[in-house]
Amino acid sequence: MTIHDFDMARWLLGEEPQWVMAAASVLTDVKIGELGDFDSVNVILRTPGGRQAVITNSRRASYGYDQRIEVHGEKGSVAAANTHEAKVQIATSDGFQKPPLLNFFMTRYTSAYANEIAAFVAALNDGTVPPTSGEDGLKALALAEAALLSVREKRAVDISEVLGR
């Protein structure tokens, strides 16, 4: 479930992660554990320049599809909040109420998927290089493999251990 976050982290960090440290548990779905997977994970990625990304994932959010991101730097921060079914917020003496979160990734990312497909088709038609490559997929997979190794061995794992480079 974290592979997409590895893609995003690589892009946001602007520098390839050098090592990964991860912890994982099975807290909400015993069947996932029986399959050898996890439902709750925390991952730290660190680049050679010291940049860090912290990823926290859970397969279960009873209140909706919760996905947020924050980036902190020396001059400030930026955050992308959750997407709700509507942009209406009601405030009364009882407090604030918002519509529920979009509850399925296909609903939340419909336009993103359409934009990805359009960029790919445009690259094919124009003969240009697509914005992502097989190398990007390989690097995200290497981060995932390093995270699994980190969970199993309870230690930070250098990406070179997985890539063999």
pLDDT in tens, 132-161: 888 999 999 999 999 999 999 999 999 999
Q: pTM for this structure?
A: 0.84
pLDDT in tens, 79-129: 998 888 888 989 999 999 988 887 777 777 888 889 999 999 999 999 998
What's the pLDDT band for 26 if we cut at 50, 70, 90?
A: very high
Q: What is the DSSP letter of 8?
A: H
pLDDT of residue 7 exceeding 80: yes
Contact 143, 6 (CB under 8 A): yes
- The number of folded domains in the chain is 1
CATH number at residue 30: 3.30.360.10
pLDDT of residue 34: 95
pLDDT in tens, 50-63: 999 999 999 888 77
Task: Give the 3-state secondary structure of residue 76.
Answer: strand
Q: Give residue 120's domain range.
A: 3-163
Helices marked H in the chain: 3-13, 30-34, 105-108, 110-126, 134-153, 159-163
What percent of the chain shows pLDDT beyond 90? Answer: 67
Rounded Cα distance, 22 and 2, in Å: 11
